[in-house]
Amino acid sequence: MPVPAGSSSALEFTLPEPLAAIATRPGDPGYEAVRHTYTRPGSPAAVLRVRNERDIGAALAFARREHVPLTVRSGGHGISGRSTNDGGLVVDLSLLASVTVLDAESGLVRVGAGARWGDVAAALAPHGLAVSSGDTGDVGVGGLATAGGIGLMSRRYGLTVDHMRAAELVLADGSLVRTDDLHDPDLFWAVRGAGANFGVATAFEFHASSVEGVCVDVSLYDASDTAAALTRWGEAVEASPRMVTSFLTLVTGPGGRPVAQAMTVYAGTDLEAADRAVRNLRSTGPLLHNRLSATSYHRLVPAAHQPQRAQQPLSVVRSGLLHRLDTAVTEAIASVADAAGIVQLRSVGGAVNDMPAAAMAYAHRSQNFSLMAATVPALANDFDQRWEALTPHVDGLYLSFETRTGMRQLQDAFPGPVLPRLIALKAHYDPEHRFDNNFALPTGPA
């Protein structure tokens, strides 16, 4: 049962063993460190640092019996702040964070859902392996791997979910399942894109890629003509080899000048080849600053383990997937930027689009860009009017970058036959809606 953080309900209950032993409650030392998420303050009645699937089963059973709301948390970096609550239980998976190389030759690895992606990268680096995840090492494995995973090597290696070989979940009845292509394949299909709807994911197996190192180009461009800069960047990205993945953020430079900051990763170690490959992007606009260097993937995405204090309170976040950044699109993005706190474009395409759309619940396999824009509630009306002008150009959304959760967003996140299939699976695996925290699916007809 979802509990909106910010509501004032405080539930009184006594926790049975073994839950009492793993609970951090208001007044306990350490409560301040676990109550909030990165984007939202919370006041849960207890944060349960679960040690294994039995603890999770006990928490689910208690929540069901006592009608206590329950929320699942891996890294606490969900944009919508849904991994805390007020007055309920938080199942905190941070102790389930082991990273094991099962077979170094084939790159098969097992990762606990409570690990941070930066820690995964650091653990795999000595084996010459990496799983492309997101741009931030503090993001948790569980939230990202159940949704998609648009990373800094996506055009070369695809999404994080594209590398998943198996998932372990505690279902609503407390049973632990291991699902893959041969075991409960429908569930495995659903986990890779809509996973938070079906259970508590405890671990995943991934087929990691051999990654010796990367080259990183960080460039700042004058984006006074924002639309033109975005169009040129988009054309350059599409013309680039798959080794190149570029993320672009619009920022305000000195004197209020619009600046585009591009972080471009060449998924290889040859600095000269990287220089040639990213040169295309220099057409984005007048270059203000540039640094190209060789590094390792894990240094690119370190996990800082920053304390979570709701330090990123932007609560109106919109996502749109785009095929092209032609002028009509970039003019609309430039208009959104005028009312936004942050605008980011991530290149997808390349290997992301090699995967058949029917392969898993994340089905967006033809777009080239993922747009995320966010603002504060006070600017939401103006911002949303500007966003509406973009919608004719948008083809789908990525749920991790969207705070609205209505039927329209579900249809955009899960296009065509994906949503009806997910709804049928929801009715089978979670008929009582125990797992409705992240983009809740209905169980009846859409």
Q: Which residues make up the interface to ligand FAD (CB under 6 A)?
A: 37-38, 71-79, 82-83, 93, 113, 134-136, 139-140, 142-144, 146-151, 195-196, 200-201, 400, 437-438
Provide, rounded to whole angstroms, the least separation between the CB of residue 385 and ligand FAD: 25
Provide, rounded to whole angstroms, the least separation between the CB of residue 82 and ligand FAD: 4
Rg (CA), the chain: 21
Residue 215 is inside which H or E element, if any?
strand 214-222
3-state secondary structure (DSSP) of residue 193: helix
- Locate 313 and state its tokens: 């309170």
Query: Cβ of 49: how many Cβ atoms within 10 Å?
Result: 19
- Residue whose CB is less far from ligand FAD, 37 or 347: 37
Provide, rounded to whole angstroms, the least separation between the CB of residue 130 and ligand FAD: 14
- Residue whose CB is less far from ligand FAD, 35 or 82: 82
Given a contact cutoff of 8 angstroms between Cβ atoms, the answer to whether 203 and 124 are in contact is: no
Provide, rounded to whole angstroms, the least separation between the CB of residue 444 and ligand FAD: 22
Provide, rounded to whole angstroms, the least separation between the CB of residue 69 and ligand FAD: 12
CA 7 vs. chain centroid, Å, equals 25
- Residue whose CB is less far from ligand FAD, 87 or 285: 87
- Residue whose CB is less far from ligand FAD, 227 or 262: 262
Distances (CA, A) of 280 to 182, 213, 234, 265, 283: 44, 22, 11, 13, 6
* Residue sitting closest to ligand FAD (CB): 143
Q: Which amino acid is at 314?
A: L
- Residue whose CB is less far from ligand FAD, 227 or 441: 441
Give the residue carrying structure tokens 């070369």: 156
- Residue whose CB is less far from ligand FAD, 23 or 90: 90
- Residue whose CB is less far from ligand FAD, 335 or 375: 375
3-state secondary structure (DSSP) of residue 19: coil
Provide, rounded to whole angstroms, the least separation between the CB of residue 96 and ligand FAD: 8
CA 276 vs. chain centroid, Å, equals 31
Is residue 286 reached through a cis peptide bond, with omega within 30 degrees of 0 on the bond before it?
no
Helix axis angle, 380-388 to 327-337, nearest 10°? 180
Provide, rounded to whole angstroms, the least separation between the CB of residue 272 and ligand FAD: 27
Give the residue carrying structure tokens 């203000």: 288
Cα distance between residue 373 and residue 222, in whole Å = 20
Contacts of 194 by beta carbon, 8 Å cutoff, 6+ apart: 146, 147, 361, 413, 414, 422, 439, 441
- Residue whose CB is less far from ligand FAD, 83 or 335: 83
Provide, rounded to whole angstroms, the least separation between the CB of residue 172 and ligand FAD: 12
